[in-house]
Amino acid sequence: MSELQQNLRANLVSTAEFFKSADAVREFQIQVPHVFAPTELFCMWFDDTYNPDSAEFIDAFSSVELEAIKIFNASMEHLSIEAGEQLPSIERLVCLPSWPEVEANANNLLGVLNA
């Protein structure tokens, strides 16, 4: 595995850690009070982490891991749609109906990646 692939894996694990619980995203907001955490969290996933069109990204994960990543991404897409263009605060974000799906799929993804 190349250094880039190792970094892609580490970045994905780190990003999924933020979504594993409402407390984790609240803590993120506390750690970076100068940014609007919901925007940063969505950018972390959609812009910086999830890149399914990259051969390096695909090669960094097994087929089982890629399926778990795909499922997590679908839950992030649901959350994004539900949140709308004007993202709510962290407190409102974690109260949206799709948030439990994000948490569950983040935890599943972490379990698959750490197996």
Q: Is the dihedral of CA 4, 7, 13, 15 positive or negative?
A: negative
- The parent domain of residue 88 ranges over 3-113
Please give the model's pTM, rounded to 2 decimal places: 0.93
pLDDT in tens, 18-39: 899 999 999 989 998 899 999 9
As a whole number, the mean pLDDT across the chain is 94
Number of Cβ within a 10 Å radius of residue 17: 14
How many domains does the chain fold into?
1
Q: What is the rounded (10 degree) CA torsion for 38, 41, 45, 49? A: 160
Q: For residue range 96-105, what is the model confidence (pLDDT) as tens digits?
A: 999 999 999 9
